[in-house]
């Protein structure tokens, strides 16, 4: 055969219609898939995350082969595996002597940098294609962002609605409003029941991968025996079908609700499949819209779901590339405290945090409000070093890739970018958690107490955060008024809050071992 085209397919590019494969002749193409040590260990990922990516890759390779593609698959324990993408592409060039390399741009800055060196490194031409599985290209976001003073998601989202024609009535938004978030803040009612998501039993391929992960990454964070993620497109479609049929109608109203031991509630649990490329985000939004048009789901749920995907997901990806490199270094609030040990062990009397860490350890997942308003909020108001928090979030979630984790953590949860993404810090006292969850009732701390030994630590930490960041935040019109409340308390009361927070902060144990990085 004439020299083939070599198409490296990365672990989060498991899409049959990937730009590098689309329209290619199968007998003229070698698809290269690589399990490499560098990617599995640049942070010490949750065991389920490694198992998910490797299993989904192996299933995807089999699917391509069944469809007649020639796949060159390098397993992690291949004795000649060089451990890096660049090393593996170099070895594949020796094996296949390709006339060209075609590859879709990497999702993460770190990998994109390595890939940018390929044209100089390799003797054959290298074409790097845009990842058109996203609705907005990186340059489209840049054009949108360039001359704006503020980069609010809501404005970007409206552009995406117009571009995709989702929930549009001519030039106007369906129902007359762009955003139904106001209807999506229902606290959980007692006895609230959410149908459980389908759990997928590991097949032979997944079992083999689980064994490999146990063997090679056994000391990483997280449980492996509760692995039930979809690992193929068919399974992911089944998970999506169940979500649309059973949970979408209530997705909206309970989007911000939290219940102890209820890990999924009405969330789709589809982020792992979307981020791997098993599900098409636009198609999911079209399906949600169909449910609304058929009268099966209310507008607030469907708009809420669509906004998460064509709004937030697209926006954070554009934001990432707009501010990289540099976003990973930002620390506008000068937060320097070490990440507490309980983020890894779950051993804390704070019931909300203990439950979120438990879900994270067992499922490699926590839902959005748990990530933002419990785990993220605590790190924000306790002043934890953003680099350590970023590492934690990147390690522990099965859906975590730098492009989506970093903006969510650094900019949304920690305000480390100084407000480029969020108009104010998402800082909250115990009151918010109490309103939106059933955590507080059985907590050893009392949410209604402010500064005593048994007072909810979020309460004093909230004021400690406001006080120490006053100079930075006072001019912000969305929270400036809070300082009037603080001032009205008087020095004695303020002193009690600050002392209580200081005492609590000094009791925090920093992580005792390097869970995130070697
Ligand atoms: C501190 C923090 C860290 C996060 N880290 C990640 C991460 O590493 N990877 C990740 O995919 N999401 C991350 N998110 C966003 C969000 O929490 C998850 O996408 C969501 O919890 C996944 O569960 P789900 O599929 O059930 O989502 P649903 O609640 O059902 O939402 C539907 C879909 O919308 C998308 N989505 C929703 N919110 C966001 C968002 N803020 N950014 C990007 N996409 C969004 C996801 O694709 C999700 O599957 C983070 C959020 C916060 C606050
Ligand atoms: S009382 Fe405070 S620490 Fe306890 S669950 Fe409620 S918010 Fe969390």
pLDDT tens for residues 61-85?
A: 999 999 999 999 999 999 999 999 9
pLDDT value of position 121: 97
Reduced to 3 states (helix: H, G, I; strand: E, B; else coil), residue 269 is: coil
**Counting atoms of ligand 1 from 1, which one is nearest the CA of 243?**
30
Q: Measured from the CA of 400, which atom of ligand 1 is nearest?
A: 8
pLDDT band at 130 (very low <50, low <70, confident <90, very high): very high
Ligand 1 midpoint to CA 6 (Å):
33
Give the pLDDT of residue 316: 98
346 sits in the region (left: phi over 0; alpha: psi -120 to 50; else beta) called left
Give the C-alpha distances (Å, rounded to integers) separating 191 from 242, 257, 262, 450, 504: 22, 13, 11, 29, 34
Distance CA 65, CA 42 (A): 30
Position 396 scores a pLDDT of: 98
Please determine, for residue 126, whether its predicted confidence score (pLDDT) is greater than 80: yes
pLDDT-derived band at 177 (thresholds 50, 70, 90) equals very high
pLDDT in tens, 265-319: 999 999 999 999 999 999 999 999 999 999 999 999 999 999 999 999 999 999 9
Residues with Cβ within 8 Å of residue 225, at least 6 apart in sequence: none
Is 512 a residue whose pLDDT tops 90?
no
Mean residue pLDDT of the chain comes to 97
> How many C-beta atoms lie closer than 10 Å to residue 106's C-beta?
23
ω into 325 cis (within 30 of 0):
yes
pLDDT score of 408: 98
Q: Which residue has the CA at smallest separation from atom 7 of ligand 2?
A: 430
Residue 259 has pLDDT above 80, yes or no: yes
Instruction: Say how far apart CA 30 and CA 3 lie, in whole Å.
Output: 10
**C-alpha of residue 344 to centroid of ligand 1, in Å:** 21
Which phi and psi angles does 29 have, rounded to 5°? -135, 135
CB-ligand 1 contact for 368 (6 Å cutoff)? yes
- pLDDT, mean of residues 94-103: 98
**pLDDT, mean of residues 226-248:** 98
For residue 147, pLDDT over 90 is answered with no
Q: Which bin fits 408, alpha (ψ -120 to 50), beta or left (φ > 0)?
A: alpha
Which one of 368, 395, 405 would you pick to mutate in the ligand 1 pocket, going by the greatest count of ligand atoms within 8 A of its CB? 368
Q: Which ligand is nearest to the CA of 438?
A: 2
Residue 1's pLDDT is: 64
Tens-digit pLDDT profile for residues 11-62 = 999 999 999 999 999 999 999 999 999 999 999 999 999 999 999 999 999 9
Ligand number nearest to the C-alpha of 440: 2
Q: How far apart are CA 461 and CA 463, in angstroms?
A: 5
Lookup: tokens for 207: 């079992």
DSSP state of 509: P
Q: Is 231 in the pocket of ligand 1 (CB under 6 A)?
A: no
Ligand 2 atom nearest to CA at 443: 4
- C-alpha–C-alpha distance, residues 270 and 150, integer Å: 30
- Tokens (6 digits) for 486: 């603080």
Q: Locate 451 and state its tokens.
A: 């500064």
Q: How many Cα atoms sit within 13 Å of 284 on the Cβ side?
A: 34
Question: What pLDDT is attached to residue 223?
Answer: 97
Mean pLDDT score, 142-152: 91
Q: Cα–Cα distance between 200 and 134 in angstroms, integer?
A: 27
Q: What is the helix, strand, coil percentage profile of the chain, to 5?
A: 50, 5, 40
**18 C-beta closer than 6 A to ligand 1:** no
- Compute the distance from residue 452 Cα to the ligand 1 centre, in Å: 36
One-letter-per-residue 3-state SS of 308-326: HHHHHHHHHHHHHHHHCCC
Cβ neighbours of 233 (radius 10 Å): 21
Cα of 351 vs centre of ligand 2, distance in Å, is 6
CA of 368 to the centre of ligand 1 (A): 6
Ligand 1 pocket check for 24: Cβ under 6 Å: no
pLDDT digits (tens, 9 = 90+) for 315-351: 999 999 999 999 999 999 999 999 999 999 999 999 9
């Amino acid at each position: 055969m004439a020299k083939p085209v070599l198409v490296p397919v990365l672990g989060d590019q498991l899409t049959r219609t990937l730009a590098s494969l689309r329209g290619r002749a199968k007998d003229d193409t070698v698809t290269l898939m690589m399990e490499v040590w560098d990617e599995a260990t640049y942070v010490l990922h949750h065991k389920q995350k490694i198992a998910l990516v490797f299993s989904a890759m192996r299933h995807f390779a089999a699917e391509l082969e069944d469809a007649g593609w020639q796949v060159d698959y390098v397993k992690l324990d291949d004795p000649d595996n060089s451990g890096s993408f660049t090393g593996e592409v170099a070895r594949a060039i020796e094996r296949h002597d390709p006339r060209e390399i075609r590859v879709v741009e990497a999702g993460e800055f770190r990998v994109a940098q390595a890939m940018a060196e390929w044209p100089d490194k390799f003797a054959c031409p290298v074409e790097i294609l845009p990842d058109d599985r996203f609705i907005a290209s990186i340059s489209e976001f840049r054009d949108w962002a360039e001359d704006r003073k503020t980069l609010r998601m809501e404005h970007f989202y409206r552009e995406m609605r117009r571009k995709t024609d989702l929930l549009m009535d001519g030039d106007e938004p369906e129902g007359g409003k762009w955003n139904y978030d106001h209807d999506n803040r229902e606290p959980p009612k007692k006895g609230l029941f959410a149908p459980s998501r389908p759990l997928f039993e590991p097949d032979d391929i997944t079992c083999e991968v689980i064994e490999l992960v146990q063997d090679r990454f056994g000391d990483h964070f997280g449980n492996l025996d509760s692995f039930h993620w979809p690992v193929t497109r068919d399974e992911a479609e089944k998970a999506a079908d169940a979500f649309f049929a059973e949970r979408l109608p209530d997705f909206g109203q309970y989007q911000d609700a939290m219940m102890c031991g209820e890990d999924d509630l009405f969330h789709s649990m589809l982020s792992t499949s979307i981020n791997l490329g098993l599900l098409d985000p636009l198609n999911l939004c079209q399906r949600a819209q169909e449910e609304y048009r058929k009268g099966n789901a209310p507008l607030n749920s469907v708009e809420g779901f669509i906004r998460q995907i064509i709004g937030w997901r697209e926006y954070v990806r554009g934001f990432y590339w707009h501010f990289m490199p540099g976003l990973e270094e930002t620390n506008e609030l000068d937060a320097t405290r070490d990440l507490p040990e309980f983020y890894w062990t779950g051993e804390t009397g704070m019931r909300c945090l203990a439950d979120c860490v438990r879900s994270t350890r067992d499922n490699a997942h926590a839902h959005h409000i748990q990530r933002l308003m419990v785990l993220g909020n605590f790190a924000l108001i306790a002043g934890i070093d953003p680099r350590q928090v970023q590492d934690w979030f990147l390690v522990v979630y099965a859906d975590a890739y730098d492009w989506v984790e970093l903006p969510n953590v650094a900019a949304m949860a920690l305000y480390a970018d100084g407000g480029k993404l969020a108009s104010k810090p998402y800082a909250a006292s115990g009151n918010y958690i109490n309103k939106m969850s059933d955590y507080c009732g059985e907590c050893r701390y009392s949410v209604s107490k402010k500064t005593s030994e048994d007072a909810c630590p979020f309460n004093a930490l909230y004021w400690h955060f406001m006080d120490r960041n006053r100079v930075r935040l006072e001019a912000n019109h969305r929270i400036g008024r809070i300082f009037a409340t603080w001032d009205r308390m008087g020095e004695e009361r303020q002193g009690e809050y600050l002392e209580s927070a200081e005492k609590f902060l000094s009791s925090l144990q920093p992580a005792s071992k390097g869970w995130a990085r070697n």
